Structure 1
Amino acid sequence: MDFSVLEVANTWRVLVTGAAGFLGSHLCDLLLSRGHHVTGMDNLMTGHMSNLASAMRNSAFEFIEHDVLIAFDGVFDQIYHLASPASPPVYQKHPIETAKINFLGTLNALELAQRTGARFLLASTSETYGDPEVHPQTESYCGNVNQTGPRACYDEGKRIAETLAFDFHRMRNVDIRVVRIFNTYGPRMNPNDGRVVSSFIDQAIEGRDITLFGDGSQTRSFCFYMDLIVGLERMMNADDITGPVNLGNPEEIKIAELAISVIAMTNSSSRVVNRALPEDDPKLRCPDISKAIRLLNWKPEVSLQEGLAETIAYCRKNLLRAST
Structure 2
Amino acid sequence: MPREESDVRRNDSIIPCFICVELVIMVGTVLLTYYLEFTDIFSVHRQGFFCFDSTYTKPYPGPEETSLLPPVLLQSLASAVPMTTIAFGELAAFVFQAELVREERTIVTADCCSLNPLLRRVVRFLGVYAFGLCTTDIFVNAGQVVTGSPAPHFMTVCQPNYTALGCQLSTQFISSENACTGSPGVVSSARRAFPCKDSALTMYAAVYTVMYVTIMFQAKGTRLTKPMLCLTILCLTFLTGVVRVSEFRSHWSDVLVGFLTGGAVAVFLVCCVLHNFKSLNSSQENPRNVREPVCVKLALPCVESPLEKLSVIQNRSVAFSEGT
Q: TM-score range by the shorter chain?
A: under 0.3
> Larger radius of gyration, structure 1 or 2?
2
Q: Select the structure with the greater relative contact order (CA < 8 A; seq sep ≥ 6).
A: 2
Greater fraction strand: 1
TM-score normalised by length of structure 2: 0.24
